Structure 1
Amino acid sequence: MAAVRVEEVLAAAAQEQQQPRSVQVEKELELEFDLGNLLALDPNPPPAAALRGAGPRRESQLRALARDNVQLLAARLWELPAERADGAAGPLVARLPEPAFRLPREKPPPRPRPPTRWEQFARLKGIRRRKRTSLVWDEQAKEWRRRWGYRRAGGDPARAWLAEVPAGADPEEDQLAKLRRAKRERVARNELNRLRNLARAHRAAAAPPLHPTGHQSRQELGLAARVARVSTASLGRFQPRLPKEPAEPPSRDGGKKRRFQPLLGDLAAERGRQLELLRGMNSKKPALDITRAVNKQLREEDAEAAAAKGKKRAQRGKRGRRQQQRPGKRSGGGKKGGPARRQQRPVGGGGRRKKA
């Protein structure tokens, strides 16, 4: 093999850079374009002789093929209608058509957020959300005031010195006291709703009940520590670590965090996973998990043994009840099968007699 000088390689590279390739690319078969997805499909077969093996020749052929296809795609993009973004000095932007191919997505679509209780009530009653300003003009004070809350427009009706008597009301009834009483009821109802919301939030992240001191198990202590850690504003990220505690902050539900594979990663590993999946789908024999099968067999044997043991206990209990029901069987301390001792009253005047 002849030696190649470095000067010759550099000169050849400089000569290639000085001679730019033409933007006109000729193909035997036209490419299929999906400009909405910036996709170009090349139906022309690649040269098989140049792609055999691995080496610089194969890499150069692949680069040349990719360059030609990208050049054709860019030429098609320049044919689309374009406009200037952000005024006349902005970049030139092309309007892409609608995609023709539906590309699959790797991750599942996000689940829709469940509606809140207010959203369900608003949908049931037909209430539509309207954006209203927080400030309104107060004719009495001649200034802009808040629509609700403290120092709102129109003032507090409960603090007014004059109140209108509604039609059909008792003229002797104190309308100002009625307004103050209604306000106290509204304040009490709002406070009750606030406490209910706090109780509902604390119930969702409440710590499990612990036994008295000296009876806490390891699982109970770990669960209580995890709930206490995630109850902070930072979800336990800036809390001091306990001995032998993992560095990763625990999740709210205590489960494992889902991890997705990256979109652009190791192609060899992805190819291996897909081939393994296809191999399992094409196989007629089901995949046998030895560990799972052995565990299942052990569980069945333990269940059968427990059932047999319970059956024996039930039979032993029935036998004992039958022996207690026999009339000749007594619990005395005499010999087996001998006559039972009976207590007889003494004959004669030895006993006490009742006076007539």
Structure 2
Amino acid sequence: MAALSVEELLARAEEREAETQRSVTVHKELDLEFDVGNLLAVDKNPAPRGVAREGAPASQREGLLRALARDNTQLLVGQLWALPSERAEGGAGPVVAQLPEPTTRLPREKPLPKPRPLTRWEQFAKLKGIRPTRKKRGTLVWDEEAKEWRRRWGYKRAGGDPSRDWLLEVPDSADPFEDQFAKRRQEKREKVARNELNRLRNLARAHRGGAAQTLHPTGHQDRAELGRVAALARVSTASRGRFQPRLPKEPPTPPTVTGRGKKRQFKPLLGDLEGEKKRQLELARSLSSKKAPLDLTRAVNKQLREEEAEAASAKGKKRGQRGKRARRQQLRPGGAKGKRGGGAARTGGGKRKKK
């Protein structure tokens, strides 16, 4: 074997180095546009001839596309390595680089959120042109007792919870024997129930405007609403309102309100494939939904029934206390039905004339 000169050895070394560098060196007629923040590379060069040519075999076209994707990815990786990098975890971890801010605006994955419905006060302020004159207060305040920032309202709020006080002052106008702790707990329950009722009213008012027409938490109905209620009460009898006398100046009841005709509607057993598919899809969607549907009418009616039951129970307790107090007065010697009253009645009965 003949010995090689130094020039030949250098030439072969350069060829081997060029072969190794060929995998990371990519030449393009037009430079690619890079958005390193989004890891995006846009290639505006024309496609290879084998890809655009009609009748080319699928294997050849797929090979050309793979080579094109590989070259573009190599250029993008080169842009990443050009960024300033450092070793993570104190020099013992992998090499990391801080990506710049993205320049390409990407479309949203989900639709825009719906605007929050206005509350009752916001609707009134918008109608009257009222603008807030002060800024909204923050949720955190400084607590002098705890020496830390706490919430203004709710659990662990600043100033402590007044419901946990061990001593309460009895007002001059209040009964000295009344339990002030029980009174405070009752007031808090009423306040919570009132706030919940107002929240349900706002939800009903904002729920497409349809649920608010059937809910009457305040008890104020107009003439049309009273007419509908009277018509429903009429057909609630055993005869479906057939023998129910009409009120004076009451208009004839429309057939849609009486509810006469078919009481039940049965779906066809055969031939309704689309309707059956739609019902099954709605059932599966309701079962897979994490958020339970909110029945506003039922929720508000339940709240009203609870308030009426509490008021009735409180009224019954007051009546029972009055009855006990009246019986005590009757048992006293100076009461209205004491011994003197009974003796006078017996004496009067003995003076009747004999026939």
TM bucket, shorter chain: 0.3 to 0.5
Of Structure 1 and Structure 2, the greater helix share is in 2
TM-score between both structures, scaled by the size of structure 2: 0.38
Higher relative contact order (CA 8 A, sep 6+): 2
